[in-house]
Amino acid sequence: MTTTPLNGTLAEPAPTPLALLLLGREADTASERGVDCPGDLPAASDPDLVARARAAKAALGDRVFILGHHYQRDEVIEFADVTGDSFKLARDAADRPDAEFIVFCGVHFMAESADILTSADQRVILPDLAAGCSMADMATAEQVAECWDVLTDAGVADTVVPVAYMNSSADIKAFTGRHGGTICTSSNAERALTWAFEQTAGAARSASDKGGGGRGAGKVLFLPDQHLGRNTAVRDLGISPDECVVYNPHKPHGGLTAEQLRDAKMILWRGHCSVHGRFSLDSVNEVRERVPGVTVLVHPECKHEVVEAADLVGSTEYIIRALDAAEPGSTWAIGTELNLVRRLAKAHPDKEVVFLDRTVCFCSTMNRIDLPHLVWTLESLVEGRVPNVITVDPETEKFAKLALDQMLALP
């Protein structure tokens, strides 16, 4: 299958202080990155960890509700009351108003969303505050505000509806809510984009009445994952890759001319997932040679050329359902996070499940939540201390909730 050359290329970021903080070195007092656990963390080698986690969870009973994202380690998933992708977990958190403590075994943006969707007296806890997300960090509030100024100066802001991926900070979600947009996840991105273009139709009409708009009138600003945005627009909505432009926050005016912005339908933020971004066309070709008859199934955070070369594309929940429905004896190469792929392989011994890439591909920040952090969190709660509470300030929460509620109301 041929692919059309795309705007913008992907380069590894330079080793900045931020990159070091993500690795847990140094400390950033203004954010959760790189912070040390303030408590007395049990040793990973402690043979009683499982028993301690069980005892603490039993002592807390219904006061605690533990959510586990599919990319979490097995040792953590074992203690989750529910597992899911980010969409399902957002709903699950909102559906448990009786739980005093929501322990979120996932990453920071997920815990923020849970805090926004739960009541004021519930506390959302992230067992390790250094469990951030490199993709979410690729769009800061300042950069996005500057982008909106660029769109305004180009005369197109009136015709743009923002769609932010769940994998973004509460600030970016609030920006999206303030500008009449919606949040999406990998399981509802098509519905979210369809809805957003329906909203832009009205906005484009009124902008062109005022002499604005332009050739590609009716646009979506998709943040922060360029790949999910492009894959959804091109594969699901039939938008041409030529109508997608990439806004690079590190370049003046995003690296785009006013004319390019006017002509575009999709303005893609230049962000990506450091885990899914690793899969390449070579890995697809290589696995097809290595495993004859294999079905290649990838997550839509993968690059467009990988998604085009795959047989099936879908969110983590989709991947799990596809494997559940697969014929015994079938062979599968999965392009998503390794904890999930390993669990799928274990759960389906009658099928051959291989990892799409030969190299190990855990999400390093998801993996920060381990059994010692979970035990420390649960035992702290038993002792009456509430550690690592994630709170979103009321003003940000108000607008972020608008965008999240819009997602939950998508047709």
Beta bridge partners of 244: 266
Phi, psi at residue 109, to the nearest 5°?
-65, -30
Which of 118, 159, 167, 396 binds ligand SF4 (CB under 6 A)? It is: 167
* C-beta of 103 vs 217, nearer to ligand 13P: 103
Nearer to ligand 13P, 301 or 379 (CB): 301
Quick one: which of 203, 275, 309, 361 contacts ligand SF4 (CB under 6 A)? 275
Q: Are 144 and 165 in contact (CB under 8 A)?
A: no
Structure tokens at 390: 């994630």
Q: Which is nearer to ligand 13P, 49 or 133 (CB)?
A: 133
Is there a binding annotation on residue 69? yes
Contact partner, 316, from ligand SF4, ligand 13P, none, Cβ < 5-8 Å per class: ligand 13P
Applying CB under 6 A, among 83, 86, 169, 339 the residue interacting with ligand 13P is: 86
Pairing between β-strand 82-84 and β-strand 101-105 as defined by DSSP bridges: unpaired
Q: Which is nearer to ligand SF4, 342 or 398 (CB)?
A: 342
Alpha helices in 348-382 (DSSP H): 371-382
Report DSSP state, residue 12: P
Binding of residue 315 to ligand 13P (CB under 6 A): yes
| 159 lines the binding site for ligand SF4 (CB under 6 A) | no
Instruction: For residue 363, state whether it binds ligand SF4 (rule: CB under 6 A).
Output: yes
Q: In the complex, which residue's CB is closest to ligand 13P?
A: 85
Q: How far is the CB of 313 from ligand SF4 (least distance, A)?
A: 16
Long-range contacts (CB closer than 8 Å, 24 or more residues apart) made by 256-264: 256/150, 258/153, 258/154, 258/155, 261/150, 261/151, 261/154, 261/156, 262/154, 262/155, 262/156, 262/214, 262/215, 262/216, 263/214, 263/215, 263/216, 264/216, 264/219
In the bound complex, what is the minimum distance in angstroms from residue 290's beta carbon to ligand 13P? 26
Q: Kindly tell me which residue out of 113, 186, 248, 388 binds ligand 13P, with binding defined by CB under 6 A.
A: 186
Q: Residue with structure tokens 């047989």?
A: 311
The site map against ligand 13P for 279-308 (x = CB under 6 A) is ----------------------x-------
- Nearest distance, CB of residue 112 and ligand 13P, angstroms: 13
The annotation status of 367 as a binding-site residue, yes or no, is no
Sole binder of ligand 13P in the list 131, 157, 273, 353 (CB under 6 A): 273
Q: Name the 3-class secondary structure at 124.
A: strand
Neighbours of 29 (CB within 10 A): 6
253 is in an annotated binding site: no
Which amino acid makes up residue 346?
Answer: K
Q: Over the Cα atoms of the chain, what is R_g?
A: 21
Instruction: Compare residues 56 and 166 and give the one whose CB is closer to ligand 13P.
Output: 166
Cβ neighbours of residue 376 closer than 8 Å, sequence gap 6 or more: 37, 39, 40, 41, 42, 127, 387
Mask: binding to ligand SF4, 91-110, rule CB under 6 A, as x and -?
----------------x---
Helix (H, G, I), strand (E, B) or coil at 353: strand
Q: Give SS3 for 335.
A: strand
Torsion sign across C-alpha atoms 276, 134, 90, 339: positive
Residue with tokens 């990838």, as numbered in its chain: 298
| Structural tokens at position 376 | 């420390």
| Helix%, strand%, coil% for the chain, nearest 5 | 45, 15, 40
Contact between 316 and ligand 13P by CB under 6 A: the answer reads yes
* Shortest spacing between CB 317 and ligand 13P, in angstroms: 7
Q: Has 316 been labeled as part of a binding site? A: yes
165 marked among binding-site residues = yes
Q: Is 134 near ligand SF4 (CB under 6 A)? A: yes
Q: What does the per-residue mask of binding to ligand SF4 show for 45-84, with x meaning CB under 6 A?
A: --------------------------x-------------
The answer on whether 300 is annotated among ligand-binding residues is: yes
Which of residues 176, 365, 396, 406 is near ligand SF4 by CB under 6 A? 365
Q: Which residues of 148-179 are buried (b: 16+ CB within 10 A; e: fewer)?
A: bebbeebbbbbbbbbbbbbbbbbbbbbbbbeb
Using CB under 6 A, pick the residue from 273, 309, 310, 392 that binds ligand SF4: 273
Q: Which residues are known binding-site members for [4Fe-4S] cluster?
A: 133, 273, 363
| Residues of the shown chain interacting with ligand 13P in the complex, contacts defined by CB under 6 A | 85-87, 167, 185-186, 273, 301, 315-316
Q: Which residues are annotated as a binding site for iminosuccinate?
A: 69, 86, 165-167, 186, 299-301, 316
Interface residues with ligand SF4 (CB under 6 A)?
71, 107, 133-135, 167, 273-275, 337, 363, 365-366
